[in-house]
Structure 1
Amino acid sequence: MTSLPGLPVIALALACAATPLNASAADDHHQQAHVHGEAQLQIAIDGHTAELILRSPAANLLGFEHQPKNDGQDKILMETREWLTATPLVQAKGNDCTVVAGTIHYGRDRSEDDDHGHDSDNHSDFEVTQRLECESALADALTTPLMEHFPGIEDLSVEWVSTSGQGRAELHAGEKGIELAL
């Protein structure tokens, strides 16, 4: 996947936009930084284009957090990377979004190691960025395949911002619809 040149600006906009929605985030950073079963998805929408950031503990996506220790785990990591590279993390009503750029970062969460004295092999995270282009406008409602494809994600916190406003949703196991209150 290629780099997203506008991502730092979008990430800053999402962080600023999300602050009023989640004012206690700074207070419980340690809980949100790495909690198995939980993941965060941020979406910046502009008409038919979206930029996304997914953050999740590796255990939610791979079933393990350590570096792969055998061929089976290598295969799981490779297949997960391929899926995250090619599959849009959200879809418009027309199911016509495609990934046009993105990055995948997989590694350990240093803040967790530093704060809790854990072995560097214990806390690995994914951060996935995508730029999507869709034939349909990204409005009213979106769907995400994340929880269906990765059953380790039990709770998905979704925050979005667009030219029409901002919002937040919480999805739980088995849910895939995101209603946009724009």
Structure 2
Amino acid sequence: MKAVTFLLAAAAFGVHANHPEHESHGAHEHGHGQLNLVLDGEQLLIELQAPAADLVGFEHEAKSAEEKAKYAKALALLKQPDQLFRFSPDAGCTLTQQEVNAAQAHHEDEHDHGHEHEHAKEASGHDEHHDDEGEAGHADMGAMYTFTCRTPAKLSGLEATLFTVYPSLEKLSVQGILPTGQTAAELTPAANKLSW
């Protein structure tokens, strides 16, 4: 039964995180990532979503050799969750599965967003440049990690060390389902520890 609960919670988080168009237009905010977690028995699921601008440095398709190298480095870092999160060693958590989601532009918003910029430029006579990529659209990327913890009772929180890896990431909105109930928090570089 626990596995069913775990999978349902994971599916709910996945739908929420991968379809930001159902939220307000401001759901894609540079410097702001989303962290979802579920602890069920010995399994800990962590899902990270953030703007590609914060994880790679840009949101458009990598074209130059330098951009391709930055993109490859970002993917490699996402495959190293021990560089992004820290748990109590007493819990004995081991990575058992991971899935990295490459940058995907929000094509539905991209068309409208570009036209909004064009109309704003025509009406005001100048470019209202709201993000680093101009009219290139928005892209998110992230990963899902499954850990198996030998002693889950000793897992009482996590430290988000990813702020040192991704310095432009300013905050993480956290949602979690834990044995004690649901939790929500906001982590920042100065307050990067979540306890439960």
TM-score of the two chains, using structure 2 as the length reference: 0.71
After TM superposition, the structure 1 = structure 2 runs for residues 98-113 of structure 1, keeping only pairs within 5 Å, are: 98-105=94-101, 106-113=103-110
Matched, 1:167 2:180: no
Kindly provide the amino acid, as one letter, of the partner of residue 85 in structure 1. K
Q: Does 1:64 align with 2:58?
A: yes
Change (3 A) 1:168 1:109: same
Whether the 8 Å CA contact 2:113–2:137 is kept in 1: the answer is no
The 3 A distance-change label for structure 1 pair 26 and 124 is closer
* Structure 2 residue 47 is the aligned partner of structure 1 residue 50: no
1: CA distance between counterparts of 2:22 and 2:107?
19
Contact 1:42 1:159 in 2 (8 A): yes
Q: 2:156 aligns with which of 137, 140, 144?
A: 140
Provide the C-alpha distance between the structure 2 equivalents of 1:143 and 1:129, rounded to a whole number of angstroms: 17
Report deviation, 1:149. Answer: 0.9
Amino acid at match of 1:93: S
Q: How many residues align?
A: 168
Q: Structure 2 counterpart of 1:104, which letter?
A: V
Query: Take 2:160 and 2:55, find their aligned partners in 1: how far apart are those partners?
Result: 15
Partner of 1:91: 86
Cα distance in structure 1, aligned partners of 2:177 and 2:142: 19
Unaligned runs of 5+ in 1: 1-5, 19-24
- The structure with the largest alpha-carbon Rg is 2
Which one has a larger percent helix, Structure 1 or Structure 2? 2
> Which piece of structure 1 moves more, 136-145 or 113-122?
113-122
Provide structure 2 residue ranges, at least 5 long, that are not aligned to the other structure: 116-133
1:142–1:177 Cα contact (<8 Å) kept: yes
Three-state SS of the structure 2 residue aligned to 1:59 is helix
Tell me if 1:123 matches 2:138: yes
% identical equivalent positions: 26
3-state DSSP of counterpart to 1:68: coil
Alpha-carbon distance in structure 2 between the residues aligned to 1:136 and 1:110:
43
Deviation per CA, 1:134-176: give whole Å up to 9, x if none.
3442632211222121111101111110232110111123332
Q: State the distance in 1 between where 2:41 and 2:85 align.
A: 14
Letter in 1 for 2:29: V
Match of 2:172 among 156, 160, 165: 156
Q: TM-score, normalised by structure 1?
A: 0.76
Alignment partners' CA distance in 1, 2:172 and 2:142: 14
Once the 2 structures are TM-superposed, how far is the Cα of residue 12 of structure 1 from its aligned partner?
A: 3.9
SS at 1:130 equivalent: strand
Paired with 1:134 and 1:155, the residues of 2 have a C-alpha distance of 26
Cα drift, residue 13 of structure 1: 4.5
* Counterpart Cα distance in 2 of 1:57 and 1:27: 17
Task: Report the aligned-residue RMSD.
Answer: 3.2
Partner of 2:34: 40
